[in-house]
Amino acid sequence: MKRWIIPALAAVMLFSASNSAHALISATLDVPVSYAFNDSDIETDGVSGTKIGISLPIFIGLALEKYEVTIKNAPGLSPISYAVSMYDFYIDLPFPFLNLGLGAGIGKGDLTGDGVNQYGPVPLGQWFATLGYPFLGLFDIHMGYHSISGKARKKGNPDIDMGATMYTVGFRVGF
Protein backbone atom coordinates (compact mmCIF):
# COMPACT_ATOMS: atom_id res chain seq x y z
CA MET A 1 0.00 0.00 0.00
CA LYS A 2 2.89 2.40 0.66
CA ARG A 3 4.33 1.83 -2.83
CA TRP A 4 2.08 4.53 -4.31
CA ILE A 5 3.13 7.28 -1.89
CA ILE A 6 6.52 8.07 -3.43
CA PRO A 7 5.27 8.20 -7.07
CA ALA A 8 2.28 10.31 -5.99
CA LEU A 9 4.53 12.70 -4.06
CA ALA A 10 6.90 12.97 -7.04
CA ALA A 11 3.98 13.76 -9.37
CA VAL A 12 2.63 16.44 -7.04
CA MET A 13 6.09 18.03 -6.74
CA LEU A 14 6.60 17.95 -10.51
CA PHE A 15 3.24 19.55 -11.32
CA SER A 16 3.37 22.11 -8.51
CA ALA A 17 6.85 23.39 -9.33
CA SER A 18 6.77 27.16 -9.39
CA ASN A 19 6.92 28.79 -12.78
CA SER A 20 6.20 32.50 -12.51
CA ALA A 21 4.88 32.73 -16.06
CA HIS A 22 1.86 30.78 -14.81
CA ALA A 23 1.60 32.41 -11.40
CA LEU A 24 -1.18 34.78 -12.40
CA ILE A 25 -2.29 35.39 -15.98
CA SER A 26 -0.15 34.85 -19.04
CA ALA A 27 -0.63 35.97 -22.63
CA THR A 28 0.69 34.19 -25.70
CA LEU A 29 1.29 35.25 -29.27
CA ASP A 30 2.05 32.66 -31.95
CA VAL A 31 2.73 33.05 -35.67
CA PRO A 32 2.64 30.31 -38.31
CA VAL A 33 5.87 29.27 -39.99
CA SER A 34 4.51 26.43 -42.12
CA TYR A 35 1.08 25.37 -43.42
CA ALA A 36 0.74 22.23 -45.56
CA PHE A 37 -2.51 20.70 -46.76
CA ASN A 38 -2.97 16.95 -46.32
CA ASP A 39 -4.04 16.74 -49.98
CA SER A 40 -0.74 16.84 -51.88
CA ASP A 41 -2.51 18.39 -54.89
CA ILE A 42 -3.08 21.63 -52.96
CA GLU A 43 0.09 23.68 -52.57
CA THR A 44 0.44 26.76 -50.43
CA ASP A 45 2.24 29.91 -51.45
CA GLY A 46 2.50 31.29 -47.94
CA VAL A 47 0.69 31.75 -44.64
CA SER A 48 0.33 34.72 -42.34
CA GLY A 49 -1.65 35.46 -39.21
CA THR A 50 -1.61 35.11 -35.45
CA LYS A 51 -2.85 33.09 -32.51
CA ILE A 52 -3.53 35.12 -29.37
CA GLY A 53 -4.20 33.34 -26.09
CA ILE A 54 -4.80 34.01 -22.41
CA SER A 55 -3.96 31.46 -19.69
CA LEU A 56 -5.48 31.59 -16.23
CA PRO A 57 -3.73 30.58 -12.97
CA ILE A 58 -5.58 27.26 -13.04
CA PHE A 59 -3.62 26.26 -16.20
CA ILE A 60 -6.62 26.67 -18.53
CA GLY A 61 -6.44 28.93 -21.55
CA LEU A 62 -8.51 30.34 -24.38
CA ALA A 63 -7.19 31.46 -27.75
CA LEU A 64 -8.27 33.02 -31.03
CA GLU A 65 -6.52 32.13 -34.27
CA LYS A 66 -6.76 33.95 -37.60
CA TYR A 67 -4.68 32.89 -40.59
CA GLU A 68 -4.59 33.74 -44.26
CA VAL A 69 -3.26 30.99 -46.54
CA THR A 70 -2.47 31.69 -50.19
CA ILE A 71 -3.04 28.65 -52.40
CA LYS A 72 -1.02 28.27 -55.60
CA ASN A 73 -3.24 28.24 -58.63
CA ALA A 74 -2.97 27.62 -62.34
CA PRO A 75 -1.20 30.35 -64.36
CA GLY A 76 -3.53 33.11 -65.48
CA LEU A 77 -5.99 32.62 -62.63
CA SER A 78 -6.20 34.88 -59.61
CA PRO A 79 -4.70 33.45 -56.42
CA ILE A 80 -7.00 31.52 -54.11
CA SER A 81 -7.17 32.82 -50.58
CA TYR A 82 -8.14 30.66 -47.61
CA ALA A 83 -9.04 32.56 -44.44
CA VAL A 84 -9.01 30.41 -41.28
CA SER A 85 -10.61 31.45 -37.97
CA MET A 86 -10.44 29.16 -34.93
CA TYR A 87 -11.49 29.33 -31.27
CA ASP A 88 -9.37 27.22 -28.94
CA PHE A 89 -9.42 25.77 -25.45
CA TYR A 90 -6.14 24.48 -24.02
CA ILE A 91 -4.46 23.23 -20.90
CA ASP A 92 -0.99 24.33 -19.82
CA LEU A 93 1.21 21.83 -18.04
CA PRO A 94 4.20 23.75 -16.66
CA PHE A 95 7.18 21.67 -15.64
CA PRO A 96 10.29 23.22 -14.03
CA PHE A 97 12.30 22.98 -17.26
CA LEU A 98 9.63 23.11 -20.01
CA ASN A 99 6.03 24.05 -20.64
CA LEU A 100 3.65 21.71 -22.43
CA GLY A 101 0.31 22.84 -23.82
CA LEU A 102 -2.43 20.60 -25.23
CA GLY A 103 -5.60 21.90 -26.81
CA ALA A 104 -8.39 21.69 -29.33
CA GLY A 105 -10.33 24.17 -31.37
CA ILE A 106 -13.20 24.66 -33.76
CA GLY A 107 -13.74 27.22 -36.45
CA LYS A 108 -14.21 27.80 -40.14
CA GLY A 109 -12.31 28.42 -43.32
CA ASP A 110 -13.45 30.64 -46.21
CA LEU A 111 -12.22 30.11 -49.78
CA THR A 112 -12.14 33.05 -52.17
CA GLY A 113 -10.81 33.25 -55.72
CA ASP A 114 -11.45 31.86 -59.20
CA GLY A 115 -13.66 28.76 -59.19
CA VAL A 116 -14.04 28.35 -55.44
CA ASN A 117 -16.61 31.00 -54.47
CA GLN A 118 -19.42 28.43 -54.75
CA TYR A 119 -18.04 26.58 -51.73
CA GLY A 120 -19.54 27.74 -48.48
CA PRO A 121 -17.70 28.10 -45.19
CA VAL A 122 -15.56 25.05 -44.39
CA PRO A 123 -16.20 23.72 -40.85
CA LEU A 124 -12.86 23.03 -39.19
CA GLY A 125 -11.64 21.20 -36.11
CA GLN A 126 -8.14 20.85 -34.73
CA TRP A 127 -5.96 19.56 -31.96
CA PHE A 128 -2.61 21.06 -31.12
CA ALA A 129 0.39 20.77 -28.85
CA THR A 130 3.00 23.33 -27.83
CA LEU A 131 6.38 22.80 -26.25
CA GLY A 132 8.05 25.77 -24.60
CA TYR A 133 11.18 26.73 -22.78
CA PRO A 134 10.62 29.05 -19.78
CA PHE A 135 13.22 31.71 -18.99
CA LEU A 136 13.63 34.65 -16.60
CA GLY A 137 10.63 33.47 -14.61
CA LEU A 138 8.00 35.36 -16.62
CA PHE A 139 8.69 34.38 -20.23
CA ASP A 140 8.44 31.37 -22.49
CA ILE A 141 9.44 30.76 -26.09
CA HIS A 142 7.65 27.84 -27.70
CA MET A 143 6.84 25.96 -30.87
CA GLY A 144 3.55 24.38 -31.80
CA TYR A 145 2.12 21.60 -33.94
CA HIS A 146 -1.50 21.84 -35.21
CA SER A 147 -3.45 19.08 -36.93
CA ILE A 148 -6.44 20.64 -38.70
CA SER A 149 -9.31 18.72 -40.29
CA GLY A 150 -12.18 19.83 -42.51
CA LYS A 151 -13.80 19.33 -45.91
CA ALA A 152 -15.07 21.88 -48.42
CA ARG A 153 -18.43 20.71 -49.74
CA LYS A 154 -20.38 21.64 -52.84
CA LYS A 155 -23.57 19.89 -53.84
CA GLY A 156 -23.00 17.53 -56.76
CA ASN A 157 -19.18 17.68 -56.56
CA PRO A 158 -16.67 15.63 -54.60
CA ASP A 159 -15.53 17.02 -51.27
CA ILE A 160 -12.17 18.78 -51.09
CA ASP A 161 -10.01 17.75 -48.12
CA MET A 162 -8.95 20.99 -46.44
CA GLY A 163 -7.14 19.19 -43.61
CA ALA A 164 -3.67 20.53 -42.92
CA THR A 165 -0.63 20.50 -40.68
CA MET A 166 0.65 23.78 -39.32
CA TYR A 167 3.77 24.63 -37.32
CA THR A 168 4.00 27.77 -35.20
CA VAL A 169 6.49 29.64 -33.02
CA GLY A 170 5.44 31.85 -30.17
CA PHE A 171 6.18 33.84 -27.09
CA ARG A 172 4.46 33.94 -23.68
CA VAL A 173 4.66 36.56 -20.98
CA GLY A 174 3.29 36.26 -17.45
CA PHE A 175 1.70 39.08 -15.47
Cα gap 18→141, rounded to integer Å:
17
Domain of residue 71 covers: 2-174
Q: Give the pLDDT confidence score for residue 94 in this predicted structure.
A: 81
Residues belonging to the chain: 175
Contact criterion met (CB below 8 Å) for 120 and 153: yes
Q: Give the pLDDT confidence score for residue 133 in this predicted structure.
A: 92
Q: Give the pLDDT confidence score for residue 151 in this predicted structure.
A: 92
Ordered mean pLDDT values, 10 residues apiece, the chain (175 residues): 64 50 79 92 90 91 96 72 96 87 96 79 96 89 96 82 95 91
**Residue 11: CATH number of its domain:** 2.40.160.20
Task: Provide the domain count of the chain.
Answer: 1
| One-letter identity of residue 4 | W
